[in-house]
């Protein structure tokens, strides 16, 4: 498939969330970028959960000491960084993710992306949801957004090969 699915997490700390993100990333051949005080993916809570699902090995993972370092490096590689927020930004489904090299950026589990960090990104999007729900957890929002990314890349590839 043309293009690469990239997912950047700022200070991912929950073993449960990490295991679900690994599962999604393996299913879609996505690359994981971690910044800040992210959990070590060799943590036994993560590895045992992933193995219990029959998943062998991890997706490609790139670690950065800080969020700023991740942003600088990914921008240097020509990546378009798309932040996520339940509170503002354009509708995620309005993006053309098959155009350019994109990485979806997720904030911390507790506070999301700070305004300073969001300000370093190329775009901010929100996943549409009912007003009665103010946020989604990472194991819910990551698969929803990653599969849409995958769908768009796959459709673009199919359109290109049919020409």
Break the chain into its structural domains and give their ranges. 6-162
Mean pLDDT score, 14-36: 96
Q: What is the model's pLDDT at position 109?
A: 77
Phi-psi bin for 29: left (phi > 0), alpha (psi -120 to 50), beta? left
Strand pairing class (31-35; 90-91): unpaired
Report whether pLDDT(1) > 50: no
pLDDT tier for residue 157 given thresholds of 50, 70 and 90:
confident
Q: Write the pLDDT tens digit of every residue in 128-154.
A: 888 898 888 899 999 999 999 999 999
Chain mean position to CA 19: 14
User: To which residue do tokens 């921008």 refer?
Assistant: 75
Q: If you average pLDDT over every residue of the chain, what do you get?
A: 91
Q: Which region among 3-12, 38-47, 125-134, 141-150 has the lowest average model confidence (pLDDT)?
A: 125-134
Q: Write the pLDDT tens digit of every residue in 90-119.
A: 899 999 999 889 999 999 877 788 899 999
Q: How far apart are CA 94 and CA 72, in angstroms?
A: 26
Report whether pLDDT(163) > 70: no
Which superfamily is assigned to 6-162 in CATH? SPOUT methyltransferase, trefoil knot domain (3.40.1280.10)
């Amino acid at each position: 498939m043309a293009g690469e699915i990239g997912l950047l997490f700022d200070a991912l700390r929950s073993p449960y969330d990490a295991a679900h993100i690994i599962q999604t990333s393996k299913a879609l051949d996505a690359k994981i970028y971690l910044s800040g005080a992210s959990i070590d993916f060799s943590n036994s809570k993560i590895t045992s959960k992933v193995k219990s699902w029959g998943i062998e090995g991890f997706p490609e993972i790139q670690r950065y000491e800080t969020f700023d370092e991740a942003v600088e490096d990914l921008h240097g590689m020509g990546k378009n960084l798309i932040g996520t927020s339940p509170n503002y930004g354009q509708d995620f489904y309005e993006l053309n993710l098959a155009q350019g090299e994109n990485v979806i950026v997720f904030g911390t589990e507790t506070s999301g992306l700070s305004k300073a960090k969001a300000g370093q990104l190329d775009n901010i999007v929100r996943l549409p949801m009912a007003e009665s729900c103010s946020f989604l957890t990472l194991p819910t929002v990551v698969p929803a957004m990653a599969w849409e990314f995958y769908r768009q890349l796959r459709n673009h590839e199919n359109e290109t090969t049919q020409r």
